[in-house]
Amino acid sequence: MTETINAPAVCFGEILWDVLPDGPQPGGAPLNVAYHLNKLGLSTGIISKIGQDENGRKLESLLDKWGISKQLLQHDSLYPTSEVIARIGAGNEVSYEIVFPVAWDFINKPDELSPTALSESYFVYGSLSSRNEHSKQTLFELLERGSINVFDINLRPPFFNKTLLNDLLLKADIVKFNESELHMAQILFGGSHRNQSEQVKFIQDRFNVPEVIVTKGEFGAAYYKGDQSYHAWGSEVSVSDTIGSGDSFLAAFIANHQKGVAPKEIIKNAIGMGAFIATRKGGCPEYELQEYIDFIKQIF
């Protein structure tokens, strides 16, 4: 039997353990975004798949603890729960192995979804979840639901190509890039612009994307909405690590966007969240909402 699932936000894709030198941490961009959306008061579900193993059971327990809906979480008897292996090389350079294949490479179209489900939701997706044809087909079916499609481009070589990015961008209502991803994308599709605003205009025109976000690390971020642009600077903070900082930024952007906050304030609040999480360890650190609110007051 299908059920009507109209959560304000739904995140699609990878849910995993980041196996770091100092121990494993829960992660995956969709999980990180869902975690912070929930913290910000926006009820969120996640469409993903885990293995029938201890790693999967631990992730399920965390979803229960955090109050993230697992109604659309799937289980796989053949493939394991995803892990990303971090390795330390010469000069303390860190490289990551995103193990393949894993459970979230085989996400099915959820049977629980009614025909109108997701039609009023922010539907958050990235490019990595399309690395396998099975999950890719599911994603493209869900992108036709009439939701507000939020594409966090999140490029992870070698798991993308020009055709895939073209098709994913064509489905997007809001796209989030970092500066290097924006530069790479516009070159990939024939652009030759050096100015950021011209690069964004090129992407907006080519793919009919109304809203584009560009994150710039310590230099803040920019938000392009139609012909208008809004910019805010970052603030120097004591960084613990940057894991999940961009995901928390996107969560704050969506939460403020959903509430109809003024564009300038949306981008400031998103920058503030990214900076706040950078002062904590891991992509899903424990915190109270008031701590974030107080932090925002201090840096702006």
Element holding 292 (H helix, E strand)? helix 289-299
For the segment 54-75, what is each residue's pLDDT rounded down to a tens digit?
999 999 999 999 999 999 999 9
pLDDT at 181: 96
Which tokens is 181 given? 């991803």
pLDDT at position 6 is 63
Which H or E run includes 86?
Answer: strand 82-88
* Mean pLDDT, residues 152-170: 94
Mean predicted confidence (pLDDT) in 227-248 = 91
Q: What angle do CA 139, 142, 148 make, to 5 degrees?
A: 110
The structural domains of the chain, with segments of one domain joined by +, span 9-299
pLDDT in tens, 5-60: 668 999 999 999 999 888 899 999 999 999 999 999 999 999 999 999 999 999 99
Superfamily for 9-299?
Ribokinase (3.40.1190.20)
* pLDDT at residue 154 is higher than 60: yes
CA-to-CA distance for 168 and 190, rounded, in angstroms? 17
Residue 291 CB coordination number (10 Å)? 12
Polymer length of the chain: 300
Measure Cα distances from 154 to 5, 66, 160 in Å. Answer: 27, 24, 10
Whole-number pLDDT of residue 111: 83
82-88 and 23-27 beta bridge pairing = unpaired
88 pLDDT band, cuts 50/70/90, is low
**pLDDT higher for 8 or 241?**
8
User: Mean pLDDT score of the chain, rounded to an integer?
Assistant: 93
Residue 1: the pLDDT is 40
Reply yes or no on whether the pLDDT at 151 is more than 80: yes
